[in-house]
Amino acid sequence: MSPRLQSFWCALGVLVLGCDTPREPDRSVRSGERVSPSLSAYEVPPLPSDAPPPPLPSRPPPRVSDGPTRIAAEAKVMGTHLVLAAYTSPEHDEASLHLSFDKAVAEIRRLEALMTTWREDSEISRVNAAAGKSAVVVSPETLAVIEKSVWMSERSEGVFDITFEAMHGLWKFDQDLEEKVPARAAVEAARKLIDFRRIKIDHDRRTVMLEKPGMRMSLGGIAKGYAVDAAARVLAAEGLDAFMVQAGGDLYVKGKKPDGSRFRVGVRDPRGKDSTDYFALLEVEDHAFSTAGDYERGFVKDGRRYHHIIDPRTGFPATASRSVTIWANDAFTADAIDDAVFILGPKKGLALVESIEGAGAVIVDEHNKVWVSERLKGRLHMLREPTDGI
């Protein structure tokens, strides 16, 4: 997206929730990982109405020099693009907001150093290296993410499974994109090492062990949500009562805009022309969103779409959904749910969502039908039907 178009969307005051960042460098394929959204959070126009548009002004409106100003900062973290935004106030000028943003970014990078699989000294890498040998002591943060991952595995019939890292290298959807379908025999061999039930956790001792040699885990499908919430806690501790934190497909919005109106989130059309092409809007206040979609990191071959959201039951890309947007009280929970719902499909996926307090979902299924959970009925503003296509 050009800087001019990006500035236009930001000026309008609505967030577009989609997936359009550069390909994630963290690994070749991730089970339960988000598709990345656009490089920033964007504002979309107001809801359409039947009223005729107002006439164009005869001269440009006067510039407003006083009042709240939207301040944003961007950073590269956890293999994706991070955007933080807030408005100036008498208590927080632009300089102080940037200091607060710096603290939030530092916290995310601290968590990344614990949980990445791309550093040999990270806690997750040490757990993987000790698979089948010994338990590894981990930090409270890493333990919390692993325990939440196992919780989601149990709730989702095992379709969310952080031991899916055993499939690493078979599918290539990142910078090493290769439009090649791996041999079924190789997929089946790797699938034998996927089993969340072989993760042994001692909560009191804070240790984690993978029981079987060759097993590996990755927190790429859930750690971003945890990090978004951590950044939000930092900003709240800094005294901010209205802000936005977005890392990849994970978003948390706190409070309202200075004029008292709610932020609006645009839900991307999975077969639309780009990340600003949305088919629905949701108003947001003190809630998180996480999106999983089949339209980034992948390829179409022989009339079939192959993408990075792999069903561990088959070892091949999931086919029941085109996109899933989860609404939840916190980003950690939203991030834990979306890929599970994507893989399960609308019927089982919505049942899972309804069983989790405060959660809602918007699903575009494999046939382009839109499904809306009970908690979001009356909240979702449909602009049009999603575009059809492979």
pLDDT at 49 (0 to 100): 46
Residues 178 and 323 in one domain: no
Q: Is residue 58 part of a domain?
A: no
Q: Can you tell me whether residue 125 is helix, strand or coil?
A: helix
* Structure tokens belonging to residue 368: 């382009």
10 and 73 in a single domain? The answer is yes
CA 189 to chain centre: 29
Q: Angle 119-98-43 (CA atoms, 0-180°, nearest 5)?
A: 90
77 neighbors 112 (Cβ within 8 angstroms):
yes
pLDDT in tens, the chain (390 residues): 444 334 333 433 445 444 333 333 333 333 333 333 333 333 334 444 444 544 444 444 544 446 899 999 999 999 899 999 999 999 999 999 999 999 999 999 999 999 999 899 999 999 999 999 999 999 999 999 999 999 999 999 999 999 999 988 898 887 677 889 999 999 999 999 999 999 999 999 999 999 999 999 999 999 999 999 999 999 999 999 999 999 988 999 999 999 999 999 899 999 999 888 999 999 999 999 999 999 988 899 999 999 989 999 999 999 999 999 999 999 999 999 999 999 999 999 999 999 999 999 999 999 999 999 999 999 999 999 999 999
Class of residue 31 by CB neighbours under 10 A (exposed 0-12, middle 13-18, buried 19+): buried
Asked if the structure places residue 388 within a domain, the reply is: no
Which H or E element spans position 159? Answer: none
* DSSP calls for 270-285: TTSSSTT-EEEEEEES
State whether 342 and 230 are in the same domain: yes
Which class for 36: exposed (0-12), middle (13-18), buried (19 or more C-beta within 10 A)? buried
Asked if residue 282 and residue 354 are part of one domain, the reply reads yes
Burial of 308-336, coded b for 16+ CB within 10 Å and e otherwise, reads: bbbbbeebebbbbbbbbbbbbbbbbbbbb
Number of compact structural domains in the chain: 2
Whether 362 and 245 map to the same domain: the answer is yes
User: Which of 210, 237, 259 finishes a domain?
Assistant: 210
Among residues 163, 182, 210, which one ends one of the domains?
210
Asked, for residue 55, whether it belongs to a domain, the answer is no
In a domain, 294, yes or no: yes
pLDDT, residue 15, reads 55
- Asked whether the beta carbons of 221 and 152 are under 8 A apart, the reply is no
Within-domain flag for 57: no
Domain containing 144 equals 123-210
Q: Cβ neighbours of residue 45 under 8 Å, at least 6 residues apart? A: 12, 14
State which of 210, 238, 253 marks the end of a domain.
210
Instruction: Specify the pLDDT at position 350.
Output: 98
Residue type, 29: V
pLDDT at position 261 is 94
Cα–Cα distance, 68 to 85 (Å, whole number): 12
| 351 in the same domain as 313 | yes
Say if CB 83 and CB 40 are below 8 A apart. Answer: yes
Q: Is the domain of 275 the same as that of 352?
A: yes
Q: Which amino acid type is present at position 295?
A: Y
Burial of 256 (0-12, 13-18, 19+ CB in 10 A): middle
CATH number of the domain that residue 199 is part of: 1.10.3980.10
